[in-house]
Amino acid sequence: MTLTPPAVVRPGDRVRFDGADYLVVTLAGTAVRLRTDDGTEAVVLASYLMASPEFAVLGCDRLPSIDSFGLLDGLPAKVLEDAREWERHLVEVQTGLPQQLPEGAILGRSTTRRRPPCRTGNGRRRPS
């Protein structure tokens, strides 16, 4: 599997969006201010801009793709085990389903360990 990083947008870049070419004027938080050659300006969310099917950064080389093979090979076994556990947990949180269903599992019921019951600040105080 090859990971292709998303395009990077910086002030001064030229981008194609919504059927026109724009100059990236500023980035402010998640907003991108764009200007056409005739001076028309638009402010759009970066996520909306980059999710557009026709979005492209013009006049620059794409970032190199990264081959995911061997990225974790140099990690200690404990770190790798922890990373795999976090990956399993995040996939279950995002999808609602574990990566591999255990035997007899019921869909919709989490397989993660339950947290111990929480106590209020008053419940933790010990009498003097």
Report the distance separating Cα 5 and Cα 65, nearest Å.
Answer: 6
Report the distance separating Cα 58 and Cα 18, nearest Å.
Answer: 14
**In this structure, are residues 25 and 13 in contact, taking their beta carbons and an 8 Å threshold?**
no
Task: Tell me the pLDDT of the chain (128 aa) as tens digits.
Answer: 444 445 678 888 899 998 899 999 999 988 999 999 999 999 999 989 988 888 888 876 655 565 666 777 788 899 989 988 888 888 878 776 666 766 666 655 555 555 556 666 666 666 65
pTM for this prediction:
0.44
